[in-house]
Amino acid sequence: MDYFFEPKSIVIYGASENTLKSGNHVLKNVLNYKRENIYLIHPMKDYVYGIRCYRSIFDLPIQMVDLSIIILPVEFVFAALLDCLDFGVSGIIIESGAIYLTNDFETLEKIHQLKKNYKDNYKSRIMGPNSIGIYNAFENGIGFTTSLIHFKRFPELKEKNLSMISQTGLTLSGLLFSQNNQQEVGISKIASIGNKFDINESDLLDYLEEDKNTNVIAFYLEDISEGRKFVEQCKRISKKKPLILLKSGISNKAKKAIISHTGSIAGNYKNIQALSTQFGIILVEDFAELFNVGKCLLNQPIPKGNRIGVISISGAGTVLSCDFAMKYNLELPKLSSVQLDKLKSFFPEFAWKDINNPIDIWSAVEKVGPEKAYMKSGEILLKENTIDILVYFLTGIKETEFDWRLLYELNQQYPEIPIYFGLIGGDKKILRTWRKIIEVRYNIPMFFSISNLFKTISKIMIYVNYVSKEGTFLRGVTS
């Protein structure tokens, strides 16, 4: 897989100076990564952006090519692929997307025949068709992508990072865009495997298992190619790195859409659910949930259990926390007498009888201000070691704002207990500012929905219960 993620020489079929064409965007992305050992194959042009073009790959002045990117109209793809195979290119990405949807049955038959026999005749590895390839973040801040959308900048590596294997191409571009301005999670690698002519999720899973910059592995899959191998991999890897799986194709209509999209067969979702239960794979329902789980696993310690302490600016936050804790089988432990006595020291006396977990903090905020109320109550909950997770709920108004660095420092004092931050409405401008500080700078996950926060915690418990049962509990991905 190194030929795809760290190629030393690259050939591009379909490069263009026309900024409306995908071949233009792919070339610009490649040139952001490197400018030496880039070779273009073009039937008419002599130069594109000053880079010499060759009529055939066999005209190149080199004898070894690490990576070839094919982004041509469907009718030209097969001939280019055969040339790359005959030349002995190590890795080939076929970005042409409509290859399995074409009515050119002759070409389709050629592709099917090639697929049957090519492993016996060729050593090249092929990603796609209907792939837009890969993204790889390097520690020097440079990113390499073969995406057909041009990027001027990329999300960077953080201390801990997510890698993703996706069966749909634009996940790659969408993920890069979504993390560019407000980076919730570190991104190490993304692979778009498309129709899986050759390379499938198991090939990438072996690679990411050993990747030092990959701490959590996520999937978007419409089908699983090698079921037994995939199960063995999950059994092995999930003890070291959490696995998050978004598996589509549950409904009959979705299964038909998958056949139209990638020509795949969706498979039995009950088998996937069994896999999740057996090996602690976290099943999610959409991409938003995938990244909610990912940012909690990566940016905070993995909790030891399901005991949650809640501190809320609003009574609604406390009541709804009770409802969702019950719904998702999460525990809200009672406060000890020691904790109650300490909390009473900065709550008004009229509120003493109402102090419970979840804690409605508003009366204390009015008495001593938000900073003391939130920080003291958080410290009291954390110090007694009676909770596994601390949740803060605030509203985005100036009256509840304080120095967020203090929250970060509290997080560092208790490195085995994660802190999650929930918001109950507020000024959107204030919330955007808070998010840049709390989530992006200080790595404390933020949620704009109480239900999403509790649901995310329940998903994480799938993994917590598994590693606890196996006796291989990780002290948090961030340890």
Q: What is the mean pLDDT of residues 389-401?
A: 95
Phi then psi dihedrals of residue 434, to 5 deg:
-60, -40
Mean pLDDT, rounded, for 12-28: 96
CA 91/CA 443 separation, integer angstroms: 36
Look at residue 256 in the predicted model and tell me its pLDDT. Answer: 45
pLDDT band, very low/low/confident/very high, at 104 (cuts 50, 70, 90): low
Find the range with the poorest average confidence among 2-16, 246-260, 325-339, 432-446. 246-260
Residue 206, both tokens: 């072996």
pLDDT at 250: 56
Please tell me the pTM assigned to this model: 0.90
pLDDT band at 259 (very low <50, low <70, confident <90, very high): very low
Average pLDDT over residues 309-313: 97
**Whole-number percent of the chain with pLDDT over 70:** 90
Degrees to nearest 5, angle at CA 450 with 446 and 455: 90
pLDDT at position 265: 38
Asked whether residue 304 carries a pLDDT value surpassing 70, the answer given is: yes
pLDDT of residue 169: 65
| pLDDT tens digits for range 359-372 | 999 999 999 999 99
What local confidence, expressed as pLDDT, does residue 261 receive? 42
| Confidence class for position 102, pLDDT limits 50, 70, 90 | low
The structure tokens listed for 141 are 């801040």
Record: fold of 2-127: Rossmann fold (3.40.50)
* CATH entry 3.60.15.10 includes domain 133-299: no
- Amino acid (one-letter) located at 111: I
Query: In this predicted model, what pLDDT tens digit does every residue of 65-83 receive, in sequence order?
Result: 999 999 998 889 999 999 9
**pLDDT average, residue stretch 128-139:** 91
d(CA 60, CA 62): 5
Q: Averaging pLDDT over each range in 175-179, 225-229, 254-258, 292-296, which range is the top one?
A: 292-296
Give the pLDDT score at 249.
56
Position 260 scores a pLDDT of: 43
Parse the chain into domains and list their residue ranges: 2-127, 133-299, 308-470
Fold classification of 308-470 (topology level): Rossmann fold (3.40.50)
Residue-wise pLDDT tens digits, 207-228: 999 999 999 999 999 888 888 8
Average pLDDT over the chain reads 89
133-299 has the same fold as 2-127: yes
pLDDT > 80? residue 411: yes
Q: What pLDDT shows up at residue 305?
A: 96
Cα–Cα distance measured from residue 376 to residue 362, given in angstroms and rounded to the nearest whole number: 14
The answer to whether residue 267 scores a pLDDT higher than 70 is: no
* Mean pLDDT for the stretch of residues 170-186: 77
| Burial zone of 367 (CB within 10 Å; 0-12 exposed, 13-18 middle, 19+ buried) | middle
State the pLDDT confidence band at 112, using cuts at 50, 70 and 90.
confident
Res. 35: pLDDT tops 80: yes
